[in-house]
Amino acid sequence: MGEFDALLWLSFGGPEKPEDVRPFLENVTRGRGVPPERLDEVEHHYQSFGGVSPINALNRSAIQATEASLERQGIDLPVYFGNRNWHPMVEDTLARMADDGVRRALVFPTSAYGGYSACRQYDEDIERARAAVGERAPELVKLRQFFDHPLFVGAFADAVRSAAADLGEYRLVFTAHSVPLAADAASGPPSEGGGRYSRQVAEAARLVAGEAGVADHDVVWQSRSGPPSVPWLEPDILDHLDVLAGKGVPAVVVCPVGFVSDHLEVVWDLDTEAREKAAELGMGFARAACPSGDVRFADLVVELVREHVADAPARKLSDFPAAGCTVNGAPCAPLCCEPQRRRG
């Protein structure tokens, strides 16, 4: 509990014009051993959308909705927007917050899950931004993981229902961003035995399918990068479509449960590549929308804020412990979601 002066919306960032794309990709992949061929390929994905990722615009409109929801609920907190990889950079935003007199702020990270890329890396962003601002840096308290929050699950479940509305019989397929097997094994506190990211994704999928009233579903992965010699979570969505077609499945609804907004990895890997592949295989295809445009998403953010400013109960639908809520970028527990050693 305590007093907060602001809410910092902390996201991934994306390019907003063609010249931004390469420097953005260099920021994302610095020191991560992503092969140059993969970078060229990903640059092509961004350039085929005019060099503009939808992610910043989607964040800006979700922030507006959140500001409206805060106001409706009588919570007086200005919302600031900062990113890890592209402007507005979180370092610059935090400096502006300090200039504005912010002493203590809550942080909403735009990822629902645990794991290095989904949780701990946002802690590193918080630490880096505070170090850049120096002594006058506000204290930053990160909001918890929300993959099992009823508003997150409910928004996805409705999105599955509307995507399925025009299909007859279909298979429900959930996707999340693949990560190296070693990163998944290192996710969560060591006492939990690893795999927190993939188990949380499986749990969110189970909850969404249950709420949408769908009996069977699959969980697969998308957007793999890194050198082929390094094993990542599988199967990939495209390979899985082959398997489903082989079984005579007439149509799929793909639900990107691993993401909060319809950003480039969703519009390229799913709406472009997977949709084309399904067409080649003669399968029907529909994609469920991510929740950031749903009014429940703004209410979700405000509910997470209310856990801190109004002692609101932490609503969650799974038995996973609430995690991710730490101060000034500390890990959730010693060695929780430890980064893997960098190659290159």
Ligand X SMILES: CC1=C(CCC(=O)O)c2cc3nc(cc4[nH]c(cc5[nH]c(cc1n2)c(C)c5CCC(=O)O)c(CCC(=O)O)c4C)C(CCC(=O)O)=C3C
Report in angstroms how near the CB of residue 157 gets to ligand X at its nearest: 20
3-state secondary structure of 124: helix
Report in angstroms how near the CB of residue 36 gets to ligand X at its nearest: 11
Q: Is 25 in the site for ligand X (CB under 6 A)?
A: yes
* Interaction residues for ligand X, span 259-318 (CB under 6 A): 259, 263-265
Nearer residue to ligand X within complex by CB, 5 or 127: 127
- Draw the binding track, 107-146, toward ligand X (x: CB under 6 A; -: no contact): ---xx-----xx----------------------------
CB 2 within 8 A of CB 91: no
Nearer residue to ligand X within complex by CB, 66 or 117: 117
* Interaction residues for ligand X, span 165-194 (CB under 6 A): 177, 179
Nearer residue to ligand X within complex by CB, 22 or 308: 22
Q: Which stretch binds ligand X (CB under 6 A): 28-36, 93-101, 201-209, 240-248?
A: 28-36
Contact with ligand X (CB under 6 A) among 7, 10, 21, 42: 42
3-state secondary structure of 332: coil
Alpha-carbon gap, residue 283 to 252, rounded angstroms: 7
* Tokens coding 226: 């890194």
What residues contact residue 44 under an 8 Å CB cut-off, 6+ apart?
Answer: none
The reply to whether 53 sits in an annotated binding site is yes
Alpha-carbon gap, residue 310 to 334, rounded angstroms: 29
3-state secondary structure of 308: helix
Please report, in angstroms and rounded to a whole number, the separation of the first and last CA atoms in the chain. 43
Dihedral sign for Cα 108, 233, 228, 190, please. Answer: positive
Nearer residue to ligand X within complex by CB, 250 or 331: 331
Q: Which stretch binds ligand X (CB under 6 A): 31-39, 75-83, 100-108, 307-315?
A: 31-39
Q: Which stretch binds ligand X (CB under 6 A): 146-154, 157-165, 220-228, 314-322?
A: 220-228
Nearer residue to ligand X within complex by CB, 42 or 79: 42
**Amino acid, res. 144:** R
Q: Is 211 in the site for ligand X (CB under 6 A)?
A: no
Nearer residue to ligand X within complex by CB, 4 or 24: 24
**Amino acid, res. 112:** A
Phi, psi dihedral angles at 299 (to 5 degrees): -65, -35
Q: Is 337 in the site for ligand X (CB under 6 A)?
A: no
Q: Is 225 in the site for ligand X (CB under 6 A)?
A: yes
Contact with ligand X (CB under 6 A) among 9, 16, 20, 29: 29
* Number of residues assigned to the chain: 344
3-state helix/strand/coil string of 234-274: CCEHHHHHHHHHHCCCCEEEEECCCCCCCCHHHHHHHHHHH
The reply to whether 177 sits in an annotated binding site is yes
Alpha-carbon gap, residue 244 to 339, rounded angstroms: 35
- Draw the binding track, 57-96, toward ligand X (x: CB under 6 A; -: no contact): ----------------------------------------
3-state secondary structure of 218: strand
What residues contact residue 118 under an 8 Å CB cut-off, 6+ apart?
Answer: 111, 112, 177, 197
Other C-beta atoms lying within 10 Å of the C-beta of residue 7: 27
Q: Which residues line the annotated binding site for Fe(2+)?
A: 177, 265
Q: Residues interacting with ligand X, by CB under 6 A?
A: 12, 14, 25, 28-29, 32, 34, 38, 42, 53, 55, 110-111, 117-118, 177, 179, 223, 225-226, 258-259, 263-265
Which residues define the annotated binding site for Fe-coproporphyrin III? 53, 122
Binding site residues, as ranges? 53, 122, 177, 265
